[in-house]
Amino acid sequence: MARVLTAGHVNWDVTLRVDRLPEPDGESRILSQRTSGGGSAANVAVALSRLDVEPSLVGSVGDDEHGHLARRELDQVGVDLRGLLTVPDTETTVKYLLVDETGEVAVLGNDGANEAVRPDDVAPEHVQSVDHVHLTSQRPDTAARIAELAADAGIRVSFDPGRRLADRDFSAALDSSDVLFCNHREAETVLETEYPGSEFADRVLVVKRGSDGAVVHTPTATYEHPGFGVEPVDTTGAGDAFAAGFIAALLDAEDYERALEHGNACGAIVASREGARASPSTEALESFLAEQF
């Protein structure tokens, strides 16, 4: 079984379904409320576990009730938690996710404990014991340390820096990454174009386009997939599910077209359900794909 290390945020999510996203000086009505573990690194780890990949995690939580609940959820699905740091006298990061009736999401959050992992906290033998490393948003120096350790060991590194890509200096981590995930807006803002320039000519760029699918640029070819027509319910975690599906497929067979198809399918399934942890099992993914043809 392939082993993947995910590194980055581990949160506690409070999801509020609302009739519409609030505007300045406006008011929205809460339709329902639910709580669960969240954070991109944790979401990807959970999604990988359901796709028969052995996940391991580097991240941090507080020593409060939310941290204990987040740790328990991850442990229950078989995530290796030796790299999950519990920070004394600190609250676990809580994200408040506002989801409207079309599935669009707005996020509020506190800082909490989710960037407590420093470069010196990362065990080299942990990073170098896996088959693939997937980085998500986190401290840039920690991301760089993990990426460099993996690169030195010849382990493929993927990086999905998320919404804060334009605001943080991830250049060192990017230099050691083999696969970069971003959305269309991030690609235009940070890379000036969604197509790889000379600095990305030796790696893979995956551009997520939401309901319009995704495109992957490799050093030798470009592949596109239009996505799957599903009715969005909650897009929270769809990008994390996409990354998990893409990575799992790529580990199974070095086929970027197949990886793109599986990533889009996992993202579509999560977007059609409530919650960031609604990722499919291998059997459910295969069934979904079979129904499309």
Residues with catalytic function? 240
Pairing assessment for the beta strands 30-38 and 11-18 based on DSSP bridges: antiparallel
List of E strands, the chain: 3-7, 11-18, 30-38, 54-62, 80-87, 94-99, 105-109, 132-136, 156-160, 179-183, 204-208, 214-217, 222-225
d(CA 28, CA 20): 6
d(CA 138, CA 110): 14
What b/e sequence results for 219-241 when a residue is b if at least 16 CB atoms lie within 10 Å of its CB, and e otherwise?
A: eeeebebebbebebbbbbbbbbb
d(CA 109, CA 98): 11
